[in-house]
């Protein structure tokens, strides 16, 4: 592919500068396209999956927060932005819904 690009480049004849401006921007366009498919698109896909997971959160789910707190969802607040987690028999804490990283972890007790 690179040989084809090099063959399409105009030969510098007589010290004249110039040529096809599209061909001079082609490497930059290719870099942007490659960055999109290798970096941006997978990150967007990951964000959508996490958003779906947080929307499907329900009472009784075992979760792990970003800070490493293991607990069971005991309820939600009125604005539905925070979650009430039961971490022990008599201990409940409020955490932001976005702080939850993992749902239904194998090995936690119900």
pLDDT digits (tens, 9 = 90+) for 66-85: 999 999 999 998 888 999 99
For residues 65 and 79, membership in a common domain is answered with yes
Q: What is the CATH number of the domain that holds 92?
A: 2.30.30
pLDDT digits (tens, 9 = 90+) for 46-70: 999 999 999 999 999 999 999 999 9
For residues 46 and 36, membership in a common domain is answered with yes
Give the chain's mean pLDDT: 84
For residues 35 and 63, membership in a common domain is answered with no
* Torsion angles phi and psi, residue 48, rounded to 5: -65, -40
11 assigned to some structural domain: no
pLDDT band at 88 (very low <50, low <70, confident <90, very high): very high
Question: Which three-class secondary structure state does DSSP give residue 31?
Answer: helix
Specify whether the CB–CB gap between 85 and 69 falls below 8 A.
Answer: yes
14 pLDDT more than 90: no
27 pLDDT more than 70: yes
Query: Where is pLDDT greater, at 18 or 16?
Result: 18
Which of 46-58 are b and which e, b meaning 16 or more Cβ less than 10 Å from the residue's Cβ? eeeeeeebbeeee
Q: Which domain holds residue 88?
A: 58-103
For residues 82 and 99, membership in a common domain is answered with yes
Specify whether the CB–CB gap between 97 and 81 falls below 8 A.
Answer: yes
For residues 95 and 84, membership in a common domain is answered with yes
110 assigned to some structural domain: no
State how many domains the chain has.
2
For residues 99 and 62, membership in a common domain is answered with yes
């Amino acid at each position: 592919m690179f040989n084809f690009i090099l063959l399409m480049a105009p030969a510098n004849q007589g010290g004249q500068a110039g040529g096809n401006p599209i061909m001079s921007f082609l490497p930059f366009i290719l870099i942007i396209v490659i960055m999109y498919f290798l970096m941006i698109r997978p990150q967007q896909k990951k964000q959508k999956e996490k958003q779906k997971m947080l929307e499907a959160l329900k009472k009784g789910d075992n979760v792990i927060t970003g800070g490493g707190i293991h607990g069971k969802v005991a309820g939600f607040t009125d604005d539905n932005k925070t979650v009430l987690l039961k971490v022990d028999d008599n201990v409940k804490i409020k955490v932001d819904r976005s702080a939850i990283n993992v749902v239904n972890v194998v090995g936690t007790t119900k």
